[in-house]
Amino acid sequence: MKTRVTEIFGIEYPIVQGGLAYLAYAELAAAVSNAGGLGQITAATLRTPEKLRDEIRKVRTLTNKPFAVNFAIARHDGQYKELLEIIIEEKVPAISITGANPQPVFKRIKGENIRTLVLVAGVRQAKKAEQLGADAVMVVGQEGGGHLGRDDIGTIVLTPRVVDSVSIPVLASGGIGDGRGLLAALALGAEGIEMGTRFIATKECIHANEKYKQAILHGKETDTVIIKRTLGAPGRALKSGYTLDIIERELEGATYEDLQNLISGKANCKYIYDGDESAGFGWAGQIIGLIDNIPTVQELFNEMILTADKGLSRIENIIGERAHN
Ligand SMILES: Cc1cc2nc3c(=O)[nH]c(=O)nc-3n(C[C@H](O)[C@H](O)[C@H](O)COP(=O)(O)O)c2cc1C
């Protein structure tokens, strides 16, 4: 497969593993890169410069392929700045940025040989990323797991809208988990995809508790909810007594301070590491309705490429037949 994304990032398949808070460590990132995609580790959940440096070096012991480091930056959080220095020192090939205005990041890495992906949820942000010099944008639709845009636009509309608005390559994200999704994204004009939820249900996502993986495996497309909407930071998580309680409190007018503990990283870890569903939550997208196995990343890639290929033949037959009639 050849697109501008495979060329810019030096990868075989235009498949990027999303930054996955508390889950994207060396084992998963290296497995994705070894399978021909772009694996990522997540800077925000590694927290200290030393831990980030160790994790980068660990990735390099597991793969010699390109990989990226994800930066989910918050508006008033300067912590990422010292982590960014490590990226430069360690000569990490690529980074992805999300959360707030990426301008300071671009300023700091200017002149460095670092490829950049910006995760956006709309046309305006995509144009801004292009203007700042991003190599590519990943556009996440409302089907996706984790934090989303505020406008509830699905991937099937958002992807071509962004493709039409920028000239840098676009990767579609949100609700993609198999070869059909990959093919559909390419049909919409994307030059690659990003997947988050699908990678949690893989053998190499070793940090996810078995309960979390089983919930993804058995959950239907209707088994996710959006929390934190009233806080202006909507995110899609598994439906549970815990997340329904958060939503109820939001509807009753709870403030950020009221909800702080319930939506914290600590509460996230209580469920995804310890499997304690009464004490925490797990992010997941609507694609859980289509996930029914826990393969290795390599098996997942093989299946996706095969399915995309079959899907393409099917479409060629349909369009070919129409052309003949
Ligand atoms: C468990 C989980 C954690 C996430 N954490 C991050 C993160 O730290 N940084 C980030 O850029 N995106 C994060 N995301 C969003 C993903 O990178 C990606 O955009 C999203 O998962 C795409 O939708 P999908 O889940 O339908 O594939 C997270 C998603 C999930 C499911």
Q: Could you list the mean pLDDT of each consecutive 10-residue stretch along the chain, which spans 325 residues?
A: 97 98 98 98 92 98 98 79 95 95 94 97 97 98 97 98 98 98 98 98 98 98 98 97 98 97 97 98 98 98 98 92 59
Domain count, the chain: 2
Residue 39 and residue 64: Cα distance in Å, rounded? 12
pLDDT at 67: 98
Distance between Cα 82 and ligand 1 center (Å): 23
Is 108 part of any domain? yes
Which domain-ending residue is among 176, 202, 228? 202
pLDDT at 28: 98
Query: In whole angstroms, how far apart are CA 58 and each of 15, 27, 49?
Result: 21, 8, 14
pLDDT at 83: 94
Please tell me whether residues 33 and 178 are part of one structural domain. yes
Instruction: State residue 142 phi and psi, 5-degree precision.
Output: -70, -10
pLDDT at 79: 80
Q: Which atom of ligand 1 is nearest to the CA of 42?
A: 8
- What is the distance of C-alpha 115 from the center of its chain? 17
Cα 264–Cα 269–Cα 270 angle in degrees, nearest 5: 95
H or E stretch at 237 = strand 235-238
Residue 30 and residue 58: Cα distance in Å, rounded? 9
pLDDT at 218: 98
**What CATH number has the domain bearing residue 63?**
3.20.20.70
Q: Whose CA is nearest to atom 2 of ligand 1?
A: 20
Q: Is the pTM value of this prediction over 0.95? A: yes
Is 61 part of any domain? yes
Is 314 part of any domain? no
With b meaning 16 or more CB within 10 Å and e meaning fewer, what string describes 88-113?
Answer: eeeebbbbbbbbbebeebbebbeeee
Reported in sequence order, the residue ranges of 22-164 that DSSP labels E, i.e. its strands, are 39-42, 67-72, 94-98, 115-120, 136-140, 146-147
- Please tell me the chain's helix, strand, coil percentages from 3-state DSSP, rounded to the nearest 5: 45, 15, 40
Q: Which atom of ligand 1 is nearest to the CA of 287?
A: 26
pLDDT at 181: 98
Distance between Cα 198 and ligand 1 center (Å): 10
Nearest one of 91, 111, 87, 102 to 137, comparing CA atoms: 102
Instruction: State residue 209 phi and psi, 5-degree precision.
Output: -60, 150
pLDDT at 324: 57
Please tell me whether residues 37 and 151 are part of one structural domain. yes
pLDDT at 76: 65
Neighbours of 204 (CB within 10 A): 23
Pocket test for ligand 1, best of 15, 20, 79 (most atoms within 8 A of CB): 20
Please tell me whether residues 79 and 193 are part of one structural domain. yes
Q: Which atom of ligand 1 is nearest to the CA of 141?
A: 23
Pocket test for ligand 1, best of 197, 202, 221 (most atoms within 8 A of CB): 197
Q: Which atom of ligand 1 is nearest to the CA of 199?
A: 27
Q: Which atom of ligand 1 is nearest to the CA of 96?
A: 11
pLDDT at 323: 57
Distance between Cα 59 and ligand 1 center (Å): 20
pLDDT at 162: 98
Distance between Cα 200 and ligand 1 center (Å): 10
Residues in contact with ligand 1 by the CB-under-6-Å rule are: 18-21, 23, 42, 44, 70, 72, 98, 119, 140, 143-146, 173-176, 194-198, 283-285, 287
Is 324 part of any domain? no
pLDDT at 77: 72
Please tell me whether residues 119 and 243 are part of one structural domain. no
Give the residue numbers spanning the domain of 260.
210-287
Distance between Cα 255 and ligand 1 center (Å): 24
pLDDT at 75: 66
Distance between Cα 316 and ligand 1 center (Å): 33
Please tell me whether residues 84 and 223 are part of one structural domain. no
Query: In whole angstroms, how far apart are CA 204 and each of 4, 59, 193, 272, 300?
Result: 28, 13, 20, 15, 11
Where would I find the H helices in 154-226?
Answer: 155-165, 179-187, 197-200, 210-218
Please tell me whether residues 113 and 231 are part of one structural domain. no
